[in-house]
Structure 1
Amino acid sequence: TLKGKVDRIDRTPDGSLAIVDYKTGQPPSAAEVTAGYAMQLGLLGLIAEHGGFEDIDGTPLTFEYWSLAKNRDVFGQIKTPFSPKGDIGPDNFIAHAADVLTKAVAKWLTGNAPFTAKIAPEYSPYPDYDQLMRFDEWYGRDADTEDKA
């Protein structure tokens, strides 16, 4: 069972749902969403689509980050997780998130792939837990082994 906590769900004038996530910093980029590294809104939409939030039914079609971060000279911004030129949009975002989740479960939870710290470091800018996971010790170890072979 997939569960999550949503910051806000609004019903839009057409009856669909808007999934909103509040951010104190910068929201994820469209590139992070497309690459499958920022699936929070899509997975919350999946939960909502399947009736996972009490007393809320409908189809999520709007996905927004409401950020309090300073953007140029203005505080606060509303961003969608999509690029105007990208393949991912409101109509296929939930399916994309479900596909990413299904592949991750098959690979790591029910499959045999080992968990790897920071598969894509460029999408993980916060080093808060690097020391605990001994990141400096382990990162690049495969490359060192290949160089010696």
Structure 2
Amino acid sequence: RWLAGFEMRRRARGIDIRVEETLSLTFEAPAGPFTLTAKADRIELSSTGAAVLDFKTGQIPSAKQLKTGFSPQLTLTGAILAEAGSKTSGPVEPEELTYVRVVGRKVPGEAKTMAEGAEAAHLSEAALAGLKARVARFDSERTPYLSWVAPQFMGNFGGNYDHLARVWEWHVVGGEEGET
């Protein structure tokens, strides 16, 4: 019932709904063209812009994670829409970034809008600028690839490549190889 009500409210606005549409944007970087792709759970096109929705069954990222770039899915999808648009729409301003949590329990779901209007457009633009800066930085041979950049978001098991970086060996033992 919650989801049916959510749908009725959203569709009453006279929107064109796109589900699991793949978007892409290619930009120039120091080592050559870089292509960013996103598969949006849902895009709602209106006469004034686009809403980007991501459906979750687990926890919704915090506003701080979204704004600091640790959860860039919505913002980068918004940036692709603003710069390149979709295959059929052309560029369109992101006007809403929303997570929809559907769980079907005591609280069956919730829609949490993280940004609207100018803030949605600004966060999307900032996310793209941040990505371009990181791509440029990592295109340099002098930039190291760190295994634990943000350990607070890694969970209990660490990264997929910790064994290659010998993270646990250095983390537990410390110091340099052969040092006691």
Same fold by TM-score greater than 0.5:
yes
1:59 to 93, 108, 125: 93
Work out which structure has the larger RCO, using CA pairs closer than 8 Å and 6 or more positions apart in sequence: 1
Size of the aligned set, in residue pairs, is: 139
The 1:61–1:111 alpha-carbon spacing in structure 2 relative to 1, beyond 3 Å, is: farther
Instruction: Check conservation: 1:28, 1:81, Cα contact below 8 A.
Output: no
Structure 2 unaligned spans of 5+:
1-25, 27-35
Could you tell me how far 1:36 is from its partner in structure 2? 1.5
- C-alpha distance after superposition, 1:79-113 (max 9, x if no partner): 1335xxxxx93241112101220221122234532
Structure 1 portions without partners, runs of 5+: 83-87
The superposition leaves residues 104-139 of structure 1 with CA deviations (integer Å, 9 ceiling, x where unpaired) of 112223453222223112123363x74653289405
Distance 1:131 1:110, change over 3 A: closer
Decide which structure has greater strand share: 2
* Preserved contact between residue 20 and residue 41 of structure 1 (Cα < 8 Å): yes
| Structure with greater Cα Rg | 2
Task: Calculate the TM-score normalised by the size of structure 1.
Answer: 0.74
Verify: 1:22 aligned to 2:55, yes or no.
Answer: yes
- Report sequence identity in percent: 26
The letter for the 1-side match of 2:98 is E
Q: Which residue of 2 aligns with 1:44?
A: 77
What amino acid does structure 2 have at the position aligned with 1:123?
A: F
Q: Which amino acid aligns with 1:124?
A: M
Matches of 2:125 and 2:104, distance apart in 1: 32
Question: Which AA in structure 2 matches 1:37?
Answer: F
